[in-house]
Amino acid sequence: MDPKLLQKYPAGTLLLTLTHPECEEVRIGYHILPEFEFRPPSILLFNVEPNRPVRREVWLVNNYGEDFEITSCTSAVHLVEVVEQERVPAEDQKSFCYHLRLAFKPPPVSGDQNVFGDTLILRVAGGRTLQLPCRLFYSRPQVPFTNVRIRPH
């Protein structure tokens, strides 16, 4: 199989046409592991507050145990940045993965918008670009509690 096509189509079905009289075709389903994987695969932050930074951690692993190097880290709209990256041994102790510490900077509230999105874009040696989707959900304004008793009629 062509590795470039597998990157484009990581899941599918192979159809083999046979000349056997009792079976004309065989279907084989496949699903390959992506070369790189973020753990967790996305970042969802709930109840964030404007201008109050939030920190999270994420791991980047190579599912095939190959060594790799992160060459750059950027953000689509600058709500997230990598504040620290550490190359550590993977679980198999034969390869390496990256432990990334992220800082999120929730922007000021703008109108009724209470959800913001960003994408962390990592480039690895060899030219691959990896994207980690991030969503920030602002806490909803709290309705003040009043001590009102309801009396039955």
Is residue 150, in this structure, part of any structural domain at all?
no
Please indicate, yes or no, whether residues 20 and 95 belong to a single structural domain of this protein: no
Question: Structural domain tally of the chain?
Answer: 2
Is residue 149, in this structure, part of any structural domain at all?
no
115-126 tens-digit pLDDT: 999 999 999 998
Q: Going by C-beta distance under 8 Å and a sequence separation of 6 or more, which residues neighbour residue 74?
A: 120, 121
Q: What is the pLDDT of residue 78?
A: 93
Please indicate, yes or no, whether residues 73 and 130 belong to a single structural domain of this protein: yes
Please indicate, yes or no, whether residues 52 and 95 belong to a single structural domain of this protein: yes
Please indicate, yes or no, whether residues 89 and 120 belong to a single structural domain of this protein: yes
The residue segments making up the domain with residue 88 are: 34-138
Q: What is the pLDDT of residue 82?
A: 96
Q: Going by C-beta distance under 8 Å and a sequence separation of 6 or more, which residues neighbour residue 59?
A: 38, 39, 97, 98, 99, 100
**Residue 144: is its pLDDT beyond 60?**
no
CA–CA separation, 106 and 29 (whole Å) = 43
Please indicate, yes or no, whether residues 116 and 129 belong to a single structural domain of this protein: yes
46-102 tens-digit pLDDT: 999 988 999 999 999 998 888 899 999 999 999 999 999 999 987 777 788 999 999
What own/partner pairs with CB < 8 Å and gap ≥ 24 does 90-95 have? 90/61, 90/62, 90/65, 92/65, 94/65, 95/62, 95/65, 95/66, 95/67
Residue 128 belongs to domain with CATH number? 2.60.40.10
Of 111 and 96, the structure prediction assigns the larger pLDDT to: 96
- What share of the chain has pLDDT > 90, as a percent? 54
Please indicate, yes or no, whether residues 57 and 124 belong to a single structural domain of this protein: yes
**Residue 36: is its pLDDT beyond 80?**
yes
